[in-house]
Structure 1
């Protein structure tokens, strides 16, 4: 069975909106687009290339699909591993409005997104990767369909914007299966997280003293 993995760039305060440029996503008046760009370097690029080498397909929300479809088909260099993967591998878009996608090997998944993704997981293969697609991740969070999260935490506070995880979802614990420092000066912390079930709790309180 294929695994569903989700890769996101987040700020220290959990914002994932528009990491790649000022015009990427200005919804709700967001004015800090491009906040991830100053921190990228060769180590960051190598991490991304390594990740895309694991992909057998991509699962995208409508907004991210539109951004990718406007950019990546224009990158035709076969030596570019990210463009080659995105342009050649299957792409699945969760959308109730997209009807005639022009990007090669794109399939629209309509209806209930959780049911659609569960069916997608039944096919053989390695990773079907989610990139960006915050609304899609939030709709799938806690539903047992995302097998692995790769969260790249950037050393910047933004103070507002679309966040990775939804408010009000049941608490979930994660196992950290990989941790790396990448990017300029090692300033990006790349965490690989596998959900483990309901979050555990404990206490540092001292036990009551005997004798009252």
Structure 2
């Protein structure tokens, strides 16, 4: 069974809309397109290469597919590891409006998208990676299909725009498996699925016991 990974550039307030350019996505009157570009320092390159190296296939929504398909086929340098990977690997496109996809090794998903992705996870191997595609990600979250997040969290607040997590996402717990700061203030965090959320209480009855577990009371008393 494949692992489904969501990779995204995310602002501090959770926005993932149009990180790469002013004309990527104006939906909802969004005016901050290209907000991620100033934080793309030289140490971001190795992170991106590492991300793409582990992918076996790509899963995209229509808008992101059209952006990628208009750009990457024109990057023909065989020494470019990202372009080579993207142009060769299988690409699955979730769209209700496209009737064909022409980028090399691209395949249009048919019928119910959540069912199609669940079936794809069962029959394909390795890692299925989602880039951009906020509307598609929302559907995947609602049907609890995401196994891992790889987030480039950027030190900027945008105030509005499509967010990585919106209302209706299935409750899920994740474990932090990596955190790497970059020279521009971006933190690259990876989170792997860790079952369902746990719950507790900090009411008066439980506070003292919990505080001693984490040594809050003992450390305060020693000062």
Local SS of the residue matching 2:178: strand
User: How many residues are treated as equivalent by the alignment?
Assistant: 206
Unaligned runs of 5+ in 2: 207-223
The match for 1:205 is: 203
RMSD of aligned alpha carbons? 1.4
Local SS of the residue matching 1:7: strand
What's the offset of the Cα at 1:43? 1.4
Q: Structure 1 or 2: larger helix share?
A: 2
Give the alignment partner of residue 194 of structure 1, picking from 183, 187, 192.
192
Bigger-Rg structure (1/2): 2
C-alpha contact 1:20 1:34 (8 A) present in aligned 2: yes
Q: Structure 1 or 2: larger strand share?
A: 1
Question: TM-score, structure 2 length as denominator?
Answer: 0.88
Unaligned runs of 5+ in 1: none
Question: TM-score, structure 1 length as denominator?
Answer: 0.92
C-alpha contact 1:177 1:192 (8 A) present in aligned 2: yes
Q: Distance in 2 between matches of 1:30 and 1:4?
A: 28
Local SS of the residue matching 2:193: strand
What's the offset of the Cα at 1:80? 1.0
C-alpha contact 2:143 2:170 (8 A) present in aligned 1: no
Give the 5 Å matches for 1:144-163: 144-163=144-163
What's the offset of the Cα at 1:205? 2.2
Q: Distance in 2 between matches of 1:81 and 1:183?
A: 23
Would the alpha carbon gap of residues 3 and 11 (structure 1) be closer, same or farther in structure 2, given more than 3 Å must change?
A: same
